[in-house]
Amino acid sequence: MLAIATVFESVAINYIPNASYLDLPLVFALCIGWHSTPVRGVVCGTILGWFQDAVFGMFLGLNGSSKALIGFVGAHLNKWLVLEHSFARFLMIGALSLLDSVVVTSIAVILNQPLFPGFWIQALIKILVTGVIGVIVFQAYNRIKFPRKDFRRVEESRLSL
């Protein structure tokens, strides 16, 4: 998943003009954190954030720290929330996307970097795009990792015995 996110992010930024609104490393950091331990979520989030910093040409560690936070929060939210409905997942991914934007921008402001105009509009577009793609990635990952069982076949095979 790390390699897929990194390659897709670097190719998409160069060839698709609006690809900067999709935060695929955030989705994968959240997905890995959601389905594993907090430590694995932090490590994967940090690595994905570093790759994202390298692709965007930002200070190394801005996205790494925010994605580590997202991976950690995602692992802990899994213990408290049951998100089976797509809209609930969309809201969770959107809220964490907003948290990610605020953390990255806050760290940049602390480092005396200028705040780019239209931050809130870009953050809202990022919430929508990342939320929709995140729901799709979560559903695909759940379908691959936890395939649906057909219990009717089990009953038929037991009846024939």
- Range scoring the smallest mean pLDDT among 13-17, 42-46, 110-114, 122-126: 13-17
The pair of structure tokens assigned to 135 is 């729901």
Instruction: Specify the pLDDT at position 67.
Output: 92
Q: Which residue has the tokens 């105009």?
A: 117
Residue ranges and CATH numbers for the domains of the chain are 2-160 (1.10.1760)
> How long a stretch of residues is the chain?
161
CA distances from 35 to 28, 31, 39, 84, 154 (A): 11, 6, 12, 14, 28
pTM score, two decimals? 0.81
* Mean pLDDT computed over every residue of the chain: 84
Report pLDDT digits (tens) over 125-152. Answer: 999 999 999 999 988 888 888 766 666 6
CA 108/CA 57 separation, integer angstroms: 13
Q: pLDDT tens digit string along 34-60?
A: 888 899 999 999 998 898 888 777 788
Helix runs in the chain, H state only: 2-15, 24-34, 38-56, 62-80, 86-110, 119-145, 151-160
